[in-house]
Amino acid sequence: MHIVWLDAFHGGSHAAVAQGFAKHSHHRVSIVALPIDGGWRWRMRGAAITFARMLRERPELCTADLIVATDMLDLATFLGLMRDLLAHTPVAVYMHENQLTYPLPPGRKLDLTFPWINYTSALAADAIFFNSEFHRGAFLQALPGLPGRFHDYREHAELATITHKTEVLYPGLELGPFDLESDAPVRQSTGIPTILWNSRWEYDKAPEAFFAALQQLEQRQIEFRVIVAGEHIDPQEPHFVAAREWLAPRCLWWGYAPDAAAYRALLQQADIVISTAVQEFFGIAILEAMAAGCVPVLPRRLSYPEIIPTELHALCLYDDQASLVERLIATIHDLDRIRQHDIPAIASRFRWEQQAARYDAAFERVIGNYRHD
């Protein structure tokens, strides 16, 4: 098959999934992408027009067996512009995130333009794939409230149509040189534990909760080192600068890794990876750290209970800020025993070597169902 993947916001996890699938699929995959520099709001508004032009300039793309678009594309508008060329082509949407349930920063009101684009894209698609069961459930639960804001013609019957088109396809991971064989030697503690933060420094990842937990460790005179390797949206943000100052004596690294090799090296230096996120639809960064041998300490919410095996929930998940501190202390004291559970093997389940076949099969079903209908 020939699959055209339309990625309107080609960066971070969006780009990783597109490129990973294209690399590992048994089918021919053409990625048509727009850079993230224009901002996600402009991509959701304008990418449909740009992609319509780009595909008309490359007629071979209009004969593809399947179009896959990400959630940053206004799919209904795009298909309207391309109705003469794509009227008989099945189309799927891959939902990395959605703008209906994504938490807003303090002081910002919800702009219904963007959830509405997600809604009409879901209506227009032949299939909708979410990156986790948590994401699918959150979107479908919140969706009735979107047309429900209006006084008539809410078209609630269409919501059931959307539900029947949904499926979960976990992102694949490109884990590089990490040794994920089940018989690999278990990593042992070598002294003072190193705690990793590899999430974005932004409101939806709640970095202030992470640093508050580290302050509790310091107050209890528990030794630790820290690696802060996530993307910094604003390196001059006051809380960010203050945290860097007080953590300087304990810090092994601070800043965005310059390349993939340097990032992997940082992960392999760490013992524990922490998330304090208030929004996470999957958790690629956490699984990358686990692939390198880091023990996760994660909130019992969002997608995390889904990616961590049930038998490890008591060892890896916490409920609130107080239990984060207690879970972290317990992990530090019992690190070697927890590592006997083969943490890297959990991440191994999501490698592209396994996931690509699931993507291929799912997309083949979309094409088969479309032709049958």
205-219 pLDDT, tens digit per residue, is: 999 999 999 999 999
Evaluate whether residue 163 is within a structural domain.
yes
Closest-CA residue to 121 (of 12, 44, 7)? 44
Q: In this predicted model, what pLDDT tens digit does every residue of 256-272 receive, in sequence order?
A: 898 988 999 999 999 99
Residues 368 and 311 in one domain: no
pLDDT at 233: 64
**231 or 53: which carries more pLDDT confidence?**
53
Which residue type sits at 81? L
Residues 149 and 161 in one domain: yes
pLDDT at 189: 60
123 pLDDT above the threshold of 70: yes
Evaluate whether residue 189 is within a structural domain.
no
Residues 157 and 206 in one domain: no
Evaluate whether residue 63 is within a structural domain.
yes
Evaluate whether residue 122 is within a structural domain.
yes
pLDDT at 230: 81
pLDDT at 241: 85
pLDDT at 184: 47
Q: In this predicted model, what pLDDT tens digit does every residue of 217-255 receive, in sequence order?
A: 999 999 999 999 987 767 677 778 888 899 999 999 998
**If you average pLDDT over residues 159-184, what whole number do you get?**
81
**If you average pLDDT over residues 47-66, what whole number do you get?**
98
Mean of all residue pLDDT scores within the chain: 93
Q: Which two tokens stand for residue 262?
A: 């340097």
What gap in Å lies between CA 308 and CA 270, rounded to an integer? 19
Q: Assess contact for 102 and 78: CB atoms under 8 A.
A: no
**If you average pLDDT over residues 190-219, what whole number do you get?**
92
Q: Which two tokens stand for residue 141?
A: 């639960």
Lowest mean pLDDT among 34-48, 161-175, 254-268: 254-268
Q: What percent of the chain has pLDDT over 90?
A: 83
182 pLDDT above the threshold of 50: no
What gap in Å lies between CA 72 and CA 97, rounded to an integer? 9
Closest-CA residue to 217 (of 244, 200, 192)? 192
Q: Which domain holds residue 49?
A: 2-174+352-372
pTM: 0.93
pLDDT at 181: 47
Residues 342 and 364 in one domain: no
Lowest mean pLDDT among 61-75, 233-247, 290-304, 307-321: 233-247
Residues 146 and 210 in one domain: no
What gap in Å lies between CA 371 and CA 163, rounded to an integer? 21
Count: domains in the chain: 2
Residues 121 and 236 in one domain: no
Q: What's the CATH code of the domain at 128?
A: 3.40.50.2000
Lowest mean pLDDT among 67-76, 153-162, 360-369: 153-162
Evaluate whether residue 188 is within a structural domain.
no
Evaluate whether residue 44 is within a structural domain.
yes
Evaluate whether residue 258 is within a structural domain.
yes
Residues 128 and 38 in one domain: yes
pLDDT at 44: 98
In terms of Cβ atoms closer than 10 Å to its own Cβ (0-12, 13-18, 19+), residue 275 is buried
Evaluate whether residue 125 is within a structural domain.
yes
